[in-house]
Structure 1
Amino acid sequence: MTQVLMLGGTGWLSTRIAQRWRDTGAEVTCLARGARPAPEGTLLLRGDRDDPHVYDALALRDWDEVVDISSRADHARAAVAALGDRAAHWTYVSSVSVYADEMTIGLDESGPLHEPAQDGEEYEYAAQKVAAEQAVSALGERAFIVRPGLIVGDGDPSDRFGYWAAAFARAGDGPVLTPVLADRYTQVIDVDDLADYIAAEPRSGFVNAIDDPRPLAEVIDLSRSAAQHSGEVVAADDDWLEAHDVQYWMGERSLPLWLPHDMTGFARHDTTAYRASGGRATPLEQTIRRVLADERARGLDRERRAGLRRADELALLAQLT
């Protein structure tokens, strides 16, 4: 039986990956420190990756597959040092955020990277991912580095992609605020597609695991259609939104997926390697319908990690119009 070690396994993406490996018939062990349960049919081991002895028992056995999604380079390095000799294959889930060039359209896996994080430096997501990639890459042909873009789907804890379906659904026949959408793009991967891709046959090298770029206007129109919104859509330009403290991309008081004009390449990466290695893409309409159902279940007016509160959106619309 295939032995899989999931470093994590109780979070949003890692749970999906553990489930996919389980469904292939593998015996899955999840190492996690939180209070959340591991997927049914997998084994949960409680452990803190800051503990230098956390891998002691795991290093006593061989693993056909190790999967790590950590965003801390020290965690990735320690895992490779402790378990690298016992792993037949190692998958590290990185991010397209590792690329230093955010303007070039169609950048493939050979694009320049940010400088890797150094011990003691202030935490910076992209630099940590680059340093973690370096640690895993030391395993050579046994290493596979997956670089997803924005991961989307039901249950998304970041609240970014689902904001638009929720915003149109909560507005009903009222207005919805958007940025000016001309020449704006977004690029996502469904969480289930990513999990399926990772829990497949072993691969090596580096792959941008992401669907093809889509005009942001198309994504927002599909979200509006799914929500059956019948109100006005009001667009504001970048300068106006910035002057009124509306943030790009993510976070409180943001318009998610909206990117600055100097990031023309961030959401337009090359996907050739992903497609050629068996990666698939769920039709975006299906993902949006699933996301909208999840947004309704969780509450359209709930506190969000990304997007505008409806009261704030209406206040901005009143100033704009």
Structure 2
Amino acid sequence: MRLLVLGGTAFLGREVARAGLAAGHDVTCVARGESGAPADGARLVTADRSAPGLGGVEDERWDAVIDVARDPGQVARAVEALRGRVGHWGFVSTGNVYADHSVPGADESTPLLAPLESGGDEPDEYGGKKVACERSVLDGIGAERVLVARAGLLGGPGDTSGRTGWWPWRLAHPAVPGEVLVPDALGEPAQVLDARDLAAWLVRCGEAGTTGVVDAVGPTTTLGGVLAAAREASGSGARAVAADPAWLSEQGVGPWMGPRSLPLWLPFPEYAGFAARTGEAARALGLTTRPLVDTLLDVLRYEEERPADEPRRTGLEDDDERALLTAWHAR
């Protein structure tokens, strides 16, 4: 199969290229080349998708295309340039396209946000842009040749956001010996999908011509389940010190991701179902997932290899966590 990856030099795109190569396919990646090198064995075509053209690949024929873009203009131009030259199109969207995240177990029938042709990376704007991207692909290529995968939280080696790497890394390197600060909300739902599992499935769908619009999410567990898997992956004996979520918020500790945060914690009723979508439709189309502990073991290895002076994008600094633990115990 001739596989064209629009992207291919960062996290998921690179895993898609690797999966295609592992399956014996001829893989070409179109990217600016600023996020790193493509997978060994893939051809890189350097092109800026904000400008017309795709570096010449629009003059070739492709059995399958997989696109991970978030910019509606880039997606629309790619569809126009490649229309009639592609057998199957896989587009990676996001669960942020939905207008309601409050219901656990929701599926693809949930109403969507209004499409946005431009915007930023705030959830509603990002989701609205992805809705516009989906429409371009479905309308331009035809639903009978398109798979739209609305991805949930992706993890594994290469996760530069730090969301899936934080807990195994922190348990392996406690700021206070024997203790790790966690929110007292360990029953909240959580879902992690290994990017390698998503990539391999996207390639299989390209091979088989699988179509549909589905939520591609990991199995539903809890924040406590993630911590248990992270403890197993790290071999840590540190105990979780569960602090009151209201107190953490008062101290300026944020949820989900970003500096001075506790990752994967979502203490908002309006997001009660964000990490608890059913995912049944994607599993029915062949999406399979590895055990969470395996993902966290591999992402811990990735975290251990990061440069020591590279700032973390998510989590707590050691001094900050020590101060928070001291203040919590003092209560």
Contact 1:173 1:230 in 2 (8 A): no
1:223 and 2:224 matched? no
SS at match of 2:237: coil
Residue 258 of structure 1 pairs with residue 265 of structure 2: yes
2:99 and 2:111 in contact (8 A); partners too: yes
- The CA deviation string for residues 257-299 of structure 1, in whole angstroms up to 9 with x for no partner, is 0002311100100121121111111011211222222222226
SS of equivalent residue, structure 1 residue 85: coil
Match of 1:236 in 2: 243
TM-score by length of 2: 0.91
Q: Is the 8 A contact 2:191 2:218 kept in 1?
A: yes
Residue of structure 2 in register with 1:307 after alignment = 315
Amino acid at match of 1:51: A
Q: Distance in 1 between matches of 2:225 and 2:117?
A: 40
Aligned length: 318
Alignment of 1:53-202 (within 5 A): 54-55=53-54, 57-119=56-118, 121=119, 124-138=125-139, 139-140=141-142, 141-171=144-174, 173-200=177-204, 201-202=208-209
**Which aligned segments of 4 or more residues in structure 1 are displaced greater than 3 angstroms?**
299-302
How many Å separate the matches in 1 of 2:278 and 2:238? 36
Give the structure 1 partner of residue 289 of structure 2. Answer: 281
Deviation readout 1:72-104 (Å, 9 max, x if unpaired) = 111111111111221111110011111111111
Structure 2, unpaired ranges of 5+: none
Residues 301, 102 of structure 1: alpha-carbon distance in 2 compared, 3 angstrom cutoff:
farther
Question: Compared with structure 1, are the counterparts of its residues 89 and 300 closer, same or farther at alpha carbon in structure 2 (3 Å cutoff)?
Answer: same
1:233–1:122 distance in 2 versus 1, CA, 3 Å? closer
Q: Which amino acid aligns with 2:96?
A: S
Instruction: Write out per-residue CA displacement over residues 149-198 of structure 1, whole angstroms, 9 at most, x where no aligned residue.
Output: 11111121111111001111111733211011243010111111111100
1: CA distance, partners of 2:171 / 2:32: 37
Q: In 2, are the aligned partners of 1:173 and 1:232 still within 8 Å (CA)?
A: no
Distance between the aligned counterparts of 1:252 and 1:42, measured in 2?
A: 35
Aligned letter for 1:274?
Answer: A
How much does 1:45 deviate?
Answer: 0.8
Q: Distance in 1 between matches of 2:110 and 2:251?
A: 35
Shift of 1:301: 8.0
CA distance in 2, matches of 1:286, 1:300: 24
Question: Which stretch shifts more, 13-22 or 33-42?
Answer: 33-42
Identity %: 39
| Structure 1 equivalent of residue 256 of structure 2 | 249
Q: Which amino acid aligns with 2:227?
A: I
Contact 1:170 1:301 survives alignment (8 Å): no
C-alpha change, 1:244 and 1:226, in structure 2 (3 Å) is same
Distance of 2:98 and 2:29 partners within structure 1: 30
Match of 1:318 in 2: 326
Partner of residue 39, structure 2? 39
Aligned to 2:215: 208
Contact 2:232 2:293 in 1 (8 A): no
SS at match of 1:192: helix
User: Aligned with 1:298: secondary structure?
Assistant: coil
CA distance in 2 between counterparts of 1:25 and 1:161 reads 30
CA contact (8 A) 1:226 1:289 kept: yes
Measured at CA, do residues 61 and 225 of structure 1 come closer, stay the same or move farther in structure 2, by a change above 3 Å? closer
